[in-house]
Amino acid sequence: MSMHTPKTMHAVIFHAPLDIRYETVEVPTPQAGELLVKVHHALTCGTDLKCYKRGHPVLLRALPSPFGHEFAGIVVSLGEGVTEWTLGDRVVSANSAPCYDCFYCEKKQYNLCEHLKLLNGAYAEYIIIPEKIARTNTHRLPDDLPFEIAAFTEPLAVAIRAVHGIGIQAGDNILVLGLGPIGQLIVKVATLLGANVTAVARTPMKLDMARSFGGAVQTISIAEGLNAHALVQDHSPQGRGWDAVIEAVGLPETWEKAVQLCRRGGKVHWFAGCAGGSTIALDTKRVHYDEITLYSLFHHTPSDVKQAFDLLASGQVDPRPLISANFALANVEEALKGMEAGRFFKASILCFP
Ligand SMILES: [Zn+2]
Ligand SMILES: [Zn+2]
């Protein structure tokens, strides 16, 4: 069953780092259990920018590859056997779904599912939602929820994992290093939980956003570089370091600094992945005798996605301040470059003119 769809569409295809092309490709036909969704809004993401610059170890497999993974749209065609979705449904999908059957899924480590295939192709007029994602990780938008807000479900799920995944509680003093879009959402989620957030970045635009959007109680500029000792002495509670430090930068240097910034008995969350092959040095005395708990969680699970969707649908999180630019689908590359230059946090890609 389907609404009228054309035979071809425009899509942005990833060929290699620094080589993405706006092309005309066939509109795919949904197979059994799949949905064809007309993409309404897609969002640029820090991960897409990383991919654009250096490729990605797990996100983009065979090249050339469809590209983009944050989107919301309208169901326009149903594969055989789909019963829980209807033509015209406004939906948002996560970019993966676990199989619920493998070794890791049986241990409820859904984000590590052996069959996790990451969905790409949001920078296109239409996208196929694979059967597993359609069944377990897609949500129907309430009528009053705009597409561009719903499209934040995936990045917000990631932020929820960064915060809830390490057991942050009300009253905790948290340090967030790095205030890109995910860093900003982490500040927001931690504040909603009742934590006191100190946010650290290099640029005033990021620090201002962490206060106005995220509710950070303290912001610190490290335009001059990050001196961990001075930061702890001058800005942490009683000069002891923070209860938890979340690294949202993705650089080995900041992974190392994060360990120096947390208090004795505290937690470090290395949340942003570094380039493949990166290594760091750790002071074992610090980790052991100061009893630092180290976390490094990856991706998200359907329960994180559901929580994120509910926060957006209920209006508890309105992420629109993070969108400060709109681009046509043909101009995704320009949007990514604008992000890289620090001109805005996220761009909204209008997939139809
Ligand atoms: Zn993303
Ligand atoms: Zn699995």
CB 120 within 8 A of CB 69: yes
pTM exceeds 0.85, yes or no: yes
CA 151 to centroid of ligand 1, rounded, Å? 10
Section 325-347 average pLDDT: 95
pLDDT tens, position by position, 241-260: 999 999 999 999 999 999 99
Section 19-47 average pLDDT: 96
Q: Does the pLDDT at position 328 exceed 90?
A: yes
CA 269 to centroid of ligand 1, rounded, Å? 19
Q: How confident is the model at residue 304 (pLDDT cuts 50, 70, 90)?
A: very high
Query: What is the predicted pLDDT for the residue at 352?
Result: 81
Peptide bond into 130 cis (omega under 30): no
Q: How far apart are CA 21 and CA 24, in angstroms?
A: 10
Residue 168, CB-side half-sphere exposure with 13 Å CA sphere: 33
Task: Provide the 3-class DSSP secondary structure of residue 299.
Answer: coil
Contacting residues for 260 by C-beta, under 8 A, at least 6 apart: 228, 229, 232, 241, 286
CA 71 to centroid of ligand 1, rounded, Å? 10
Q: Which ligand is nearest to the CA of 70?
A: 1
Q: How far apart are CA 113 and CA 132, in angstroms?
A: 12
CA 60 to centroid of ligand 2, rounded, Å? 19
Domains and CATH numbers, the chain: 8-156+300-350 (3.90.180.10), 166-295 (3.40.50.720)
Contacting residues for 172 by C-beta, under 8 A, at least 6 apart: 190, 195, 196, 243, 244
Percent of the chain with pLDDT over 90: 91
Q: Does the pLDDT at position 279 exceed 90?
A: yes
CA 330 to centroid of ligand 1, rounded, Å? 19
CA 63 to centroid of ligand 2, rounded, Å? 24
Q: Which ligand is nearest to the CA of 116?
A: 2
Task: Provide the 3-class DSSP secondary structure of residue 333.
Answer: helix
Task: For the chain, give percent helix, strand, coil, nearest 5.
Answer: 30, 25, 40
CB 87 within 8 A of CB 3: yes
If you average pLDDT over every residue of the chain, what do you get? 95
Which residues are bridge partners to 198 per DSSP? 175, 218
Tokens, residue 206? 């990021």
Tokens, residue 84? 């829980």
CA 181 to centroid of ligand 1, rounded, Å? 9
Contacting residues for 167 by C-beta, under 8 A, at least 6 apart: 267
Query: What is the predicted pLDDT for the residue at 49?
Result: 93
Name the DSSP letter for residue 124: B
Q: How confident is the model at residue 4 (pLDDT cuts 50, 70, 90)?
A: confident
Residue 202 phi/psi, 5-degree rounding, is -95, -30
CA 303 to centroid of ligand 1, rounded, Å? 17
Q: Does the pLDDT at position 145 exceed 80?
A: yes
Axis crossing angle, helix 153-164 with helix 181-192, rounded to the nearest 10: 60
Query: What is the predicted pLDDT for the residue at 281?
Result: 97
CB 171 within 8 A of CB 194: yes
Q: How confident is the model at residue 55 (pLDDT cuts 50, 70, 90)?
A: confident
Q: Which ligand is nearest to the CA of 106?
A: 2
Q: Which ligand is nearest to the CA of 113?
A: 2
CA 290 to centroid of ligand 1, rounded, Å? 34
CA 109 to centroid of ligand 2, rounded, Å? 8
Query: What is the predicted pLDDT for the residue at 40?
Result: 96
139-143, 146-150, 224-228, 253-257: which range is least confident on average? 224-228
Q: Which ligand is nearest to the CA of 59?
A: 1
Which residues are bridge partners to 72 per DSSP? 41, 92
Q: How far apart are CA 148 and CA 145, in angstroms?
A: 9
CA 303 to centroid of ligand 2, rounded, Å? 15
Q: How far apart are CA 242 and CA 176, in angstroms?
A: 10
Q: How far apart are CA 250 and CA 231, in angstroms?
A: 19
**Pairing of β 19-26 and β 35-43:** unpaired
CA 256 to centroid of ligand 2, rounded, Å? 32
Q: How confident is the model at residue 276 (pLDDT cuts 50, 70, 90)?
A: confident
Q: Which ligand is nearest to the CA of 109?
A: 2
